[in-house]
Amino acid sequence: MILKDFIIVGGGIAGLSAIKAIREQNQSASILWISDEDRLPYKRTKINKHIAVGFSRDEFALVEHDWLLTHHVELLFDRVIGIETAKHELSFKHRGNLQYHKLIVAIGNKPRPLSINGLSQDMVFNVHNARQVENIIRSTSSSRTYMVVGAGVEGVETADQLVQKGKKVILVDRNSMVLQRFFTPKYAALLQDTIQKAGIQLLLDVHDIDGSLGESVIQMNGQQYDVDTVISTIGYTPNIELAAASNIQCNVGIRVDEYMQTSAEDVFAAGDVAEHPSGEITCLWHAAEYQAGWPE
């Protein structure tokens, strides 16, 4: 069985930062970087901002193929489906098992499920990865009216992009103002005015959404709306299933100590999936970049 010195699972900024930190300390160790997507690892925060104009396959790549070759990093497109921590062994969806000396789990988060009574999941899109956003872009050829659920940063950006595509957009949130986690009422009111002037219909304090009235009909707070496509931007939750199934201690995220070590020997976690000793999960790009340091 093939043994790698370092295996990094997850094609985000935490994984790349770990690789850079390793290479600063060790130029000869074997490094395998695993992504379960179909393209070079990329900057996720860019994709929903480019719905209006689209983007090429590797337009937002974090590194180029030449960088990987120069730094002797092997990139594998596959999904890890199991970790045998006692054997230091990974199993994959499409290939045979591999062994690691050190393992870094940086698989980020996943969208919170949007549950609306009677609504077909075929109508619901997310903006979590490039493939999902590409599906939204393709949908604009036939969909006229979009409902974006969740008026946080991602929801506001997505709604704005769709309006730029000439679509009718309804932006919905259960809170009484947009970006409630970040703004005071004064500044939220200014943004809400800008949103509405851009042509976005803003519905706040929405607590009752029903999709059981028929195809393309959504009822919210007793009022009916014609909607072709629903986009969920209601937030994310750490992607802990792989670690939990491997008996690595998890709470909301994968529990780590001050050195990003998990409960399993030689297994580290970083980025949006990691829960720190304080219980904090940062979910910030630069925090993920900082966390993925050299594992002693």
Question: What is the number of alpha carbons within 13 Å of residue 134 lying toward its C-beta?
Answer: 11
Residue 185, phi then psi, degrees to nearest 5: -55, -35
**Confidence at residue 295, expressed as pLDDT on a 0 to 100 scale:** 42
Q: How many Cα atoms are found within 13 Å in the side-chain-facing hemisphere of 238?
A: 27
**The predicted structure's pLDDT at residue 282:** 74
Looking at residues 258-266, what average pLDDT do you find?
96
| Residues 154 and 235: beta-carbon distance below 8 Å | no
Residue 293 clears pLDDT 70, i.e. is over it? no
Q: Tell me how far CA of residue 196 lies from CA of 48, 152, 156, in angstroms.
A: 20, 15, 11
Nearest to 93 by CA among 77, 108, 79, 114: 79
Model confidence at 265, pLDDT cuts 50, 70, 90, reads very high
pLDDT in tens, 128-180: 999 999 999 999 999 999 999 999 999 999 999 999 999 999 999 999 999 99
Residue 245 pLDDT? 97
Domains and CATH numbers, the chain: 3-110+236-291 (3.50.50.60), 113-232 (3.50.50.60)
Query: What letter represents residue 264's amino acid?
Result: A
Given the DSSP bridges, would you call strands 223-226 and 124-125 parallel, antiparallel or unpaired?
Answer: unpaired
Per the prediction, the chain carries an average pLDDT of: 93
Alpha carbon 61 to chain centroid, angstroms: 15
| pLDDT confidence of residue 83 | 98
pLDDT at 214: 76
Q: Where is average pLDDT lowest: 2-11, 196-205, 214-223?
A: 214-223
Mean pLDDT confidence for 261-287 = 86
Q: Do 34 and 144 touch, CB atoms closer than 8 A?
A: no
Residue percentage of the chain with pLDDT more than 90: 86
27-72 pLDDT per residue, tens: 999 999 999 999 999 999 999 999 999 999 999 999 999 999 999 9
The answer on pLDDT for 272 being more than 90 is yes
Q: pLDDT tens, 85-133?
A: 999 999 999 999 999 999 999 999 999 999 899 987 777 999 999 999 9
Q: How far apart are CA 156 and CA 152, in angstroms?
A: 6
